[in-house]
Structure 1
Amino acid sequence: MTYQEVEQALIAFRDKKGWQKYHNLKDLALSLNLEASEVLEIFQWQPSNHDLSDEERQHLEEELADTLIYAFYMCEKLQVDPLDIVAKKMKFNQG
């Protein structure tokens, strides 16, 4: 799937659920942060060299997906391509 196909699928899902009214930048940022916290929770109290179990890895993938979904919704709201803004940031960091 291309990013454009992912974006279209996310928008269709959001619209089918009637969630457009909740998708403002503030609430999307809050949700992004909450999902990122769920990523962190997987590692809470684990040693830094902890090997993930299959179940933990699956959970991590799900939480990363949730985090990316909210980031993608924010990009859609800002009318920016996430790949473009990552490329710009990488260029800036190398500068």
Structure 2
Amino acid sequence: MRAVTLAEEGVLSHADLPERIRQYEQEHRRVIPQVEPQGGALVALPQQRWPSLEEVEKRYIQKVLEATGGNKRRTADILGIARRTLYRRLEDE
């Protein structure tokens, strides 16, 4: 949710993401069909790509890191995690 507050107009858009994440997203695109109940039946909606929880977490960490000017101590405080945890998650990228 914090990433949304850091985005312009409170809406996180594709343009708010770092280029390397946008590139990764295009290379690893997964499409998951959606269904919606309509008159007792399930109707397929247009396919929409849903990011994994890991992708969302990485984007969020990067957005907070950018907002803090790269200050990892402040980023960890905002995220509510230890700096060691932040460093581990950044290494996984």
Task: Tell me if TM exceeds 0.5.
Answer: no
Give me the TM-score of the superposition, normalised by structure 1.
0.27
Give me the TM-score of the superposition, normalised by structure 2.
0.27
Larger radius of gyration: 2
Structure of greater relative contact order (alpha carbons < 8 Å, 6+ residues apart): 1
Higher strand proportion: 2
